[in-house]
Amino acid sequence: MARGGYIPARLLCDFLNVENLLSIQSQHWTEAAKVAEKALIKFKYNVDLSGMNALLVDDIVDTGESLILAKNFIIGEWKPNDVKIATLQWISPVAKLKPDFYLIEVKEWYWFQYPWTRLEDTYQFIKRLLSEEGLSKREWTLEEIIAKFKELYGVDVGLNYFKDAADLLVENSFLIRSDNKYLIKS
């Protein structure tokens, strides 16, 4: 499933010797760790999967809303013989769906940091921390941002990701950079 399932799905094609790979974008979380109101299918293109079995792959089942929607869409519109679901993790206490195949059952909710969402997540988590901490402190050095990020989220994503995320926040007018400092725009 686009976008979280792309890389796991491509790897599964390799390991399971599968040639056909399609993508469906069922979107639920618009921002890291912030759930949108409702899941929706973005591009409802038509495919005929009759006579075939489908394996629907995603990174994680959290609420399960996006996969439920995608599975129903695929069954109703693409009409394969069967659809099974494979994910890396599923968060069993909150998930409304149990994947047929998974690597890890997660018992306590956690926001997973995948390599394919690292910049996006770093950007959003920095934005969130600055929005909250910025109420009492408006001017930050990159080192201060990194230290706060590590303190709050317990993750070190590496200097390049911190730099790129801060650059993007400047580009998107959330921050202003002057000398070696970042100022939160009011």
Give the contact letters, 18-57, x = binds to ligand AMP (CB under 6 A), - = no: ----------xx---------x------------------
- The Cα 160–Cα 117 span in angstroms is 14
- Cβ-contact 47, 1 below 8 angstroms: no
Q: Which is nearer to ligand AMP, 95 or 146 (CB)?
A: 95
Helix (H, G, I), strand (E, B) or coil at 182: strand
> Shortest gap between Cβ of 73 and ligand AMP (angstroms)?
13
Binding positions for ligand AMP, 84-113, rule CB under 6 A: 110-112
Residue nearer to ligand AMP on the CB measure, 61 or 169: 61
Number of residues that bind ligand AMP (CB under 6 A): 17
- d(C-alpha 100, C-alpha 65), whole Å: 16
Nearer to ligand AMP, 11 or 147 (CB): 11
Min CB(21)–ligand AMP separation in Å: 17
Nearest-angstrom CA–CA distance, 106 and 90: 6
- The whole-angstrom separation of Cα 162 and Cα 180 is 14
Query: Of 51-70, which residues contact ligand AMP (CB under 6 A)?
Result: 58-67
CB of residue 177 to ligand AMP, shortest distance in Å: 29
Q: Exposure of 5 by Cβ count < 10 A (0-12 exposed, 13-18 middle, 19+ buried)? A: buried
Between residue 126 and residue 185, which ones bind ligand AMP under the rule CB under 6 A? none
Q: Which is nearer to ligand AMP, 73 or 112 (CB)?
A: 112
Residue type present at position 177: R
Beta carbon of residue 105, minimum distance to ligand AMP (angstroms, whole number) = 13
Q: How far apart are CA 175 and CA 184, in angstroms?
A: 5
Which tokens belong to 148?
Answer: 């706060």
List of residues contacting ligand AMP (CB under 6 A):
4, 28-29, 39, 58-67, 110-112
